[in-house]
Amino acid sequence: MSRPPDGTTPVATALSVRRLPSVPLALILLALTLVSITLATAFGAETIPIGEVWRTVAGRLRGAEVDAAHAVIVFDLRLPRSILAAIVGGGLALAGALMQALVRNPLAEPYLLGVSAGAAVGATVVITLGSLAVLGVWALSGGALLGSLAASVAVYVVARAQGGLTPLRLILSGVVLSSAFMALSSLLVFTAADPHAADNVMFWMLGSVAGATWAKVQIAGVVVVVAVVAMLAIHSWLDAYAAGTDTASSLGVPVRGVRSALFAVQGVLVGVMVAVAGGIGFVGLIVPHAARLLAGATHRAMLPVAVCGGALFLVWVDVISRVVASPREMPLGIVTGLIGAPVFLFLMGRRQYVFGGSA
């Protein structure tokens, strides 16, 4: 198959419906995210002036003496929380884009394959049975991560046993196993001796970054960065795969390898994001669509915009969750659902929307 004069593949040319240059757009979103993290650090039960936030951060980094109360609020509570929100938002947006490419379905979202339901089982086991107590503060995250990875392996094994990792088999296997995992979580809650177990499990499943620590920031950040770099390295294969397996095969793309890589990367991404922040809906569904509308459907253009857009979105969702019902805190999943539903309907009402090479 011949290439256009500019050296791009025919698939990439067909998918290129750009409205804005992707690199400047991603940089603008990244800059807005950094500014938003600073502003988010100032908001809360006690508002701290922006200048004081910068002085506290600079003084802490230099080892200089700073206000002890502000140092605790800024460095130990709000700053890691806002940074973790940005990382989780970017990770979920990336996972959503990869899931939509994997099953070639615009309605796909990161939790389609039951990873979140598996994580819920692991977290529920920790909450109701006290398992993994030796991990201390990491018990809940550890249980959720183990549950999500076990769910990914289960979906992979079931789909392979039924004839291979085709999009249809992955979706059906994920939906069925997700229902089974949710039923198991409900059973654990129903039989739990703790009367507050249901409340704890429900709050965790709706998502929160209230338990952010610098260790969680580092782990989640490394996973997201590695995933972004790996997927950008094979962006042309992703474009070809999104156009269909026949097209991809004709272009020399290792379809099975790409499918397995997408499954593995999104599984690890979702597992880690759910482990550190719980289940947060809509981010992985609406942000990739918004990125395609802004930057086009090619993965080289869309993925960086989706990651930066998801980061910016979830930082402000966390601010809303802390401020709107203060002094109580609203789960992030409630805010993303209330914002995401109308936004998604608006995006889908736009003309000339492209997914996978078709309007």
Average pLDDT over residues 86-114: 89
In a domain, 271, yes or no: yes
* Radius of gyration of the CA atoms of the chain, in A: 21
pLDDT, position 70 = 81
pTM of the model: 0.87
C-alpha 332/C-alpha 321 separation (Å) is 6
Looking at residue 110, its pLDDT comes to: 85
Tens digit of pLDDT for each residue in 69-88? Answer: 888 888 888 999 999 999 99
In whole angstroms, what is the distance from residue 2 CA to residue 303 CA?
26
Q: Structurally, how many domains does the chain consist of?
A: 1
Mean pLDDT of 323-333: 84
Tell whether 12 is covered by a domain. Answer: no
**Residue 232 and residue 234: Cα distance in Å, rounded?**
5
Q: Is the pLDDT of residue 299 over 90?
A: yes
In a domain, 163, yes or no: yes
| Contact between 274 and 113 (Cβ < 8 Å) | no
Task: Please give the mean pLDDT across all residues of the chain.
Answer: 85
Residue 3 has pLDDT above 70, yes or no: no
Residue 91 in domain: yes
Query: pLDDT per residue over 200-220, tens digit each?
Result: 888 888 899 988 999 999 999
Range of the domain at 177: 20-348
In a domain? residue 137: yes
pLDDT at 109 over 90: no
**Contact (CB, 8 A) for 41 and 25:** no
Q: Residues with Cβ < 8 Å from 310, sequence gap 6 or more?
A: 89, 90, 91, 92, 93, 94, 283, 284, 287
Show the 3-state SS of 97-143: HHHHHHHCCCCCCCCCCCHHHHHHHHHHHHHHHCCCHHHHHHHHHHH
pLDDT over 60 (residue 192)? yes
The answer on pLDDT for 163 being more than 90 is no
CA 122 vs CA 71, 108, 273: distances in Å: 34, 23, 14
Q: Alpha helices, DSSP H only, in the chain?
A: 10-15, 22-42, 50-62, 68-71, 79-103, 115-129, 139-161, 167-190, 197-205, 214-233, 235-242, 245-250, 255-277, 283-295, 299-323, 332-348
pLDDT surpassing 60 at residue 357: no
Work out the burial of residue 208: count CB atoms within 10 Å of its CB; fewer than 13 is exposed, 13-18 middle, 19 or more buried: buried
Q: 249-252 long-range contacts, Cβ below 8 Å, gap at least 24?
A: 250/1, 251/1, 251/9, 251/11
What are the C-alpha distances in Å from 229 to residues 147, 234, 235, 303?
26, 9, 10, 10
**Category of 311 on φ-ψ map: left (φ > 0), alpha (ψ -120 to 50) or beta:** alpha
| CA-based torsion, 226, 354, 17, 10: positive or negative | positive
- Has residue 168 been placed in a domain? yes
What amino acid occupies position 176? V
pLDDT at 352: 54
pLDDT > 70 in the chain, percent: 91
- What's residue 19's pLDDT? 64
> What local confidence, expressed as pLDDT, does residue 1 receive?
42
The tens digit of pLDDT for each residue in 5-62 reads 444 554 444 454 446 788 899 999 999 999 999 999 988 777 788 888 888 888 877 8
As a whole-number percent, the residues of the chain with pLDDT over 90 amount to: 34
Asked if 65 and 341 count as a contact pair (C-beta separation under 8 A), the reply is no
Predicted local confidence at residue 75, as pLDDT: 86
Q: In this structure, is residue 8 part of a structural domain?
A: no
Tell me, rounded to whole angstroms, the distance of Cα 65 from its chain centroid. Answer: 37
Query: Residue 227 sits in a domain of what CATH number?
Result: 1.10.3470.10
11 inside domain: no
Q: Which phi and psi (to 5°) does residue 9 adopt? A: -80, 155
- For 2, which DSSP code? P
